[in-house]
Amino acid sequence: MRPTVIVRVSETEFETQDGRVFPHPIPFKSGEVPTPEEFQKQYDKWSEVFHRLLGSENQEEPDDVG
C-alpha cells in the first residue's frame, strides 16, 4: 500500500496526491492552517494510531457472526 501524500490543506478540508478531498472533523481557525508538510506529520501519526487500533481488533477472535 502506497502512503497517502497530502498536497493541500485549507481551513475546512485537505487534499491528497491522488485528488481525494476530505473535510476536517474540526475546521482550523483562519491563520492557524498548517502547511501540507506540517499536516502530513499529523496525518501520518494518527494514521498509524488508527491502523494499530484496527489491527488489534482484527486479531481478536471472531464474534458470533464471523
pLDDT in tens, 18-63: 999 999 999 999 899 999 999 999 999 999 999 999 986 665 554 5
Asked whether the predicted pLDDT for residue 64 surpasses 90, the reply is no
| Amino acid 58: pLDDT | 60
The alpha carbon of 17 is separated from its chain's Cα centroid by a whole number of angstroms, namely: 13
**More reliable by pLDDT, 66 or 4:** 4
The pLDDT of residue 66:
46
